Structure 1
């Protein structure tokens, strides 16, 4: 049987009319061209008849008004995996040169094997055997199909998709779904355009890999092309209902996404660099700035079709935590690129989620400390501001610690984890300044009884009595004993004296919880005025804290004293820097792993939180 396709319906039994399909309203909101949809509907509707035909006669070339619909139909038929071996004969009266001049790109179809252009049906049927023999070769190997057809035709980029941005949106989503093995899972129907079908035919399918992504509560996705496969693809990866998608930052704010950002309801943001038709400045960068103002620690991964290095640099400077370059069709022939691109995307997501969850915990507790009445009601406002500033610095260093490279750690002998820990430790000093009143000691009366000229009683400014502000609870006191010469004068202007420091605090590093309150003042054998951990311990002992905080305080103090940025160890050793470098080698020293740092930092933060809030930290 020879099937003939004509524009207008006829009485011929073997005839198929194009016009009825052209009159149907197709959904073109996702970039589908109406003429592509017309011929695609015909091919799918009449697939069995077309497959059973010895030769398909297309009695219509088309014109500029309908984008040469007959030629578009011929391309769709030959690109169909079940129809590629059926010969196609175009019939028309226009000279071939005229057609070529009118549509030089689509006209290449008339020059490939198994397809011909004839002036009548009779002439086409005479050539049927030749056309059938030529098309048999197309089934031999994919290489023959590629060389004889795919490499010969030229498919123009649809107008809607002109430019790298438009093309990469649909192709990138499709390729990601392919690599992740979720093509069948997601609901999105990819475009039936001739251009897209040609891409699929040329592309080498990547070997699917099993996605390895973290569990999330919610992701914000802002992309003017989110409906072109991206939302469905991301929900296929993270789970249905996990993606809040909007075409612009303005639309997201209308849906109260900004409030959700402030309330920490998102684990991650995917944000497109170019938002909307005609955006040449990158509105996504502006949205990035707004998001970071609302929640500085919420990770944002920028989506972009641009591979310009300066764009990546600008986004990084603006606060982006990572970026993903949407795959462009120019990489369609390289399946390994698609796999590597997806693996890099996964790594970026996993590192951002890990970093975001860590920072978010401390950020939420910091906001509670800002509202603490314990700090607000204290007289020293400067120390309160320093605490809040250093908490912000600490979180910034914590962020850098998650981003720090092994090269920097091992080459330049520093660790952002260590800097974060020490910044947090410095807050303890601000806290003791807030809670303690320190009064310089005055000389006792016995000193003045033997001086020749009376004067105001001077102070021993290097010795101070410590007690709680607005309270009588004493922490440090001194017993002073003066030594006199044979003339009952003390030697030297300040006098020669013996000062015995006393405190009700007892520190026993061998007995847990290591810090205790005595019934009365006793002589100390460590100077409590310069040992911060003892000062903090006394505050904890006079509150409703648990022993675990005291135990952690003692362990953290010892940990701090072993850090090289504090004192260093073995500094007299000739191989000091060798030892230093070895300590920085995280892989070879589990004691300095990220997990170890996080544990110590968490314990220290809990002490600070308790002292600022008055109750234990609930993570």
Structure 2
């Protein structure tokens, strides 16, 4: 029986291995996607029986649902032990991190894509012949290709040996010749620099290491490398090495490269992932012939320039590596690298990502086609943001400890001297309910003003189709339920318009896009993203006062709503009054949360002033006091709850400003002038308005808005300070009513 142990059913579907296809081979083939299927020891012993074969994905036990360290190690060790001790038990390890195939006596290893591409050939052969022939699994429809290539290599070596016998090539150019280990390649040059590529160095990191070792000090004119080397000749590792050389930062990355080959049928290269590198400038395949090596050194090619390199490498269409769980992980590492270089910040975790990006071919490829130039670096002075008070920022992201934490600590703490912290949790081993509870508790405990929130935080979020079920959205909703004034910025790789719309509807105050590789097509995208980040933070910190507004509104609700019940309280308030003032306060905040433009601020100011007018109606008696001195009849006015009379505020006709007098307000008619009523209300409440100048500003601003005309121009602009001043005036008044 053949067992496939791979936790990613989605990956199987992507390669065409759906349930129907797996069921077709059910007599000989069993797919295991969960630890629960092999949890019992007797089930594992059955799998390890002699005559069976296991195809094991290296990251199976990295999955949260399969994470059993003890059993995971035990099963891995048992796979290796049984393959070594039992003649007819084979195990093949596969992973997206493998760059090449290696077939050996116990089984072998291979890239995940090769396994699924060839699995059909392998199972059909097993079904027809009842024979485990790993050549079908490793080489697909041409199981004999390795033997054929080995024979062709031996013939070509022999012919070249004869050609150069006592007559090697003399060349004035500086040539570097690389050969594969144990391939018996005869050096056709009398003089050249020679290096050998051993099988252990065919990984991305191995190739990058050798390029740094061999290409950093001496400059060459021509580089000769074998098309076929490594444990599997049909991997055509020379194509991959060529791309590594072109995408590496060395003095030889632009030199002429010749791939020497013994392959007669070049069409077998067409399906190789790196085939398109042959379409780029100054890279050629030459035959195992002396004349071809001679032509290569004699041929004068136009130099490849550094300016041409990105356009040439774009001819290669390279797919993301399969060892990443999803595009989310790739985008994170790519963005961390781009942002850290652009704002010039680093730590051990960022350096680890940089080292990976410098050795991983996919990231080297991306860095080559989307290079960061010196002018893209942003200095600290351009990262300054404007804020008041002492705001606190909390960052919630499952990737925080990969480098984002250091980037934002540098931005907030080092540059802007703003309190910054992040949520510490084991995101792989926590459920959604626990994470939401932990996040909200942290926000409460630390009195957080702004939350920087990732969209997808848990592995299960990537499979959810309903956006409302995604963890980031649920945390956003909980934060806004706690206090709508707490600013929440979504920091995510998602740029799907429907996601952004839903997040905005849920109350998100801003968006910052994590840079995915596809975003980097746009010149200067990284700089624009960071500049947008600064703008978003500035906008949110400008609205930071809304948190205090909402806290005070909640406080007023607690105090005023019970007073609507005339029968149960000693100091009741009119029901309509309570409902009206709370409604206007809420609307005022909602307007400001959406936008701080002139229209929103003006409308908000008027809503707040409506509350002040309602307050005035409650405080000032509507019944005037008639004074009849026979020769002089006039009216005075008083407050509803005390017998104090309203005083007169004198208006300066030239400036329009009012000043308080010691005289009672007297009028020949029964009606109270509007301005006198409002000024007496403010004076009576003894609110935070501390001077006649403040009184005049509030009244004057309201009159400017109501009687607006073109001559007022900038006077119609409402500042945040004026809004805060009026809100606090109203709040203090409602507290004292």
Matched with 2:370 is 203
In the superposition, relative to structure 1, how do residues 52 and 549 fare at CA in structure 2: closer, same or farther (>3 Å)?
Answer: same
Matched with 2:393 is 219
User: Which one of 588, 598, 608 corresponds to residue 394 of structure 1?
Assistant: 588
In the superposition, relative to structure 1, how do residues 7 and 235 fare at CA in structure 2: closer, same or farther (>3 Å)?
Answer: farther
CA distance in 2, matches of 1:119, 1:104: 19
In the superposition, relative to structure 1, how do residues 395 and 67 fare at CA in structure 2: closer, same or farther (>3 Å)?
Answer: farther
User: Which one of 714, 717, 722 corresponds to residue 590 of structure 1?
Assistant: 714
> Is contact 1:58-1:88 (8 Å) kept?
no
In the superposition, relative to structure 1, how do residues 89 and 562 fare at CA in structure 2: closer, same or farther (>3 Å)?
Answer: closer
CA distance in 1, matches of 2:463, 2:444: 28
In the superposition, relative to structure 1, how do residues 430 and 170 fare at CA in structure 2: closer, same or farther (>3 Å)?
Answer: same
CA distance in 1, matches of 2:407, 2:560: 48
In the superposition, relative to structure 1, how do residues 429 and 544 fare at CA in structure 2: closer, same or farther (>3 Å)?
Answer: closer
Is the aligned partner of 1:514 residue 2:514? no
User: Which one of 519, 534, 553 corresponds to residue 366 of structure 1?
Assistant: 553
Secondary structure, counterpart of 2:489 in structure 1: strand
CA distance in 2, matches of 1:134, 1:368: 84
In the superposition, relative to structure 1, how do residues 535 and 89 fare at CA in structure 2: closer, same or farther (>3 Å)?
Answer: same
1:45 Cα shift?
4.4
> Is contact 1:5-1:59 (8 Å) kept?
no
Secondary structure, counterpart of 1:378 in structure 2: coil
Give the alignment of 1:260-271 within 5 angstroms: 260=443, 264-271=447-454
CA distance in 1, matches of 2:636, 2:177: 106
Matched with 1:458 is none
1:402 Cα shift?
0.3
CA distance in 1, matches of 2:226, 2:479: 56
In the superposition, relative to structure 1, how do residues 79 and 525 fare at CA in structure 2: closer, same or farther (>3 Å)?
Answer: same
Is the aligned partner of 1:524 residue 2:666? yes
> Is contact 1:304-1:324 (8 Å) kept?
yes
Is the aligned partner of 1:322 residue 2:515? no
More deviation, 182-191/389-398: 182-191
Matched with 1:84 is 253
Is the aligned partner of 1:605 residue 2:718? no
Give the alignment of 1:107-506 within 5 angstroms: 107-109=275-277, 115=283, 123=289, 127-132=292-297, 137-139=302-304, 141-142=305-306, 145=309, 149-160=312-323, 165=328, 167-177=330-340, 180-182=342-344, 187-188=350-351, 189-190=353-354, 191=357, 192-205=359-372, 207-208=375-376, 209-210=378-379, 211-214=382-385, 217-226=391-400, 230-239=404-413, 242=420, 244=422, 253=436, 255-260=438-443, 264-272=447-455, 276=459, 277-282=462-467, 283=470, 284-330=472-518, 332-354=520-542, 356-370=543-557, 378-380=571-573, 382=575, 383-403=577-597, 415-432=599-616, 468-469=640-641, 473-475=642-644, 503=645, 505-506=647-648
Matched with 1:455 is none
In the superposition, relative to structure 1, how do residues 133 and 323 fare at CA in structure 2: closer, same or farther (>3 Å)?
Answer: farther
1:375 Cα shift?
9.1
User: Which one of 694, 715, 737 corresponds to residue 552 of structure 1?
Assistant: 694
> Is contact 1:397-1:420 (8 Å) kept?
yes
In the superposition, relative to structure 1, how do residues 246 and 86 fare at CA in structure 2: closer, same or farther (>3 Å)?
Answer: farther
CA distance in 2, matches of 1:221, 1:340: 21
1:393 Cα shift?
1.7
CA distance in 2, matches of 1:221, 1:351: 17
CA distance in 1, matches of 2:214, 2:346: 24
Give unmatched runs, 5+ long, in structure 2.
1-174, 188-192, 564-569, 627-634
CA distance in 1, matches of 2:466, 2:232: 35
CA distance in 1, matches of 2:535, 2:665: 58
1:154 Cα shift?
3.7
Secondary structure, counterpart of 1:563 in structure 2: helix
1:370 Cα shift?
4.5
Secondary structure, counterpart of 2:705 in structure 1: coil
Secondary structure, counterpart of 2:481 in structure 1: helix
In the superposition, relative to structure 1, how do residues 552 and 85 fare at CA in structure 2: closer, same or farther (>3 Å)?
Answer: closer
The alignment of Structure 1 onto Structure 2 pairs a total of residues equal to: 512
The superposition leaves residues 361-416 of structure 1 with CA deviations (integer Å, 9 ceiling, x where unpaired) of 43344345445699967311633444333222221233345046xxxxxxxxxx33
CA distance in 1, matches of 2:668, 2:589: 33
1:419 Cα shift?
1.9
CA distance in 2, matches of 1:254, 1:95: 65
Matched with 1:27 is none
CA distance in 1, matches of 2:385, 2:446: 21
CA distance in 2, matches of 1:130, 1:90: 13
Give the alignment of 1:568-579 within 5 angstroms: 568=707, 579=709
CA distance in 1, matches of 2:661, 2:511: 53
CA distance in 2, matches of 1:607, 1:299: 24
Matched with 1:36 is 204
CA distance in 2, matches of 1:19, 1:440: 102
More deviation, 227-236/76-85: 227-236
1:465 Cα shift?
8.3
Secondary structure, counterpart of 1:335 in structure 2: coil
> Is contact 2:650-2:660 (8 Å) kept?
yes
More deviation, 266-275/12-21: 12-21
More deviation, 280-289/194-203: 280-289
Question: What is the root-mean-square deviation of aligned Cα atoms in Å?
Answer: 4.8
Secondary structure, counterpart of 1:508 in structure 2: strand
Matched with 1:18 is 198
Secondary structure, counterpart of 1:300 in structure 2: strand
CA distance in 2, matches of 1:78, 1:270: 38
The superposition leaves residues 494-544 of structure 1 with CA deviations (integer Å, 9 ceiling, x where unpaired) of xxxxxxxxx3634333599834566xxx67217686456545655665666
CA distance in 2, matches of 1:163, 1:374: 51
CA distance in 1, matches of 2:475, 2:500: 16
TM-score scaled by structure 2?
0.57
> Is contact 2:179-2:196 (8 Å) kept?
yes
Secondary structure, counterpart of 2:544 in structure 1: helix
Q: Which has the higher contact order (CA 8 A, sep 6+)?
A: 1
CA distance in 2, matches of 1:562, 1:555: 10
> Is contact 1:218-1:244 (8 Å) kept?
no
1:308 Cα shift?
3.8
Give unmatched runs, 5+ long, in structure 1.
23-34, 405-414, 443-462, 476-502, 570-578, 584-588
TM-score scaled by structure 1?
0.66
> Is contact 1:84-1:138 (8 Å) kept?
no
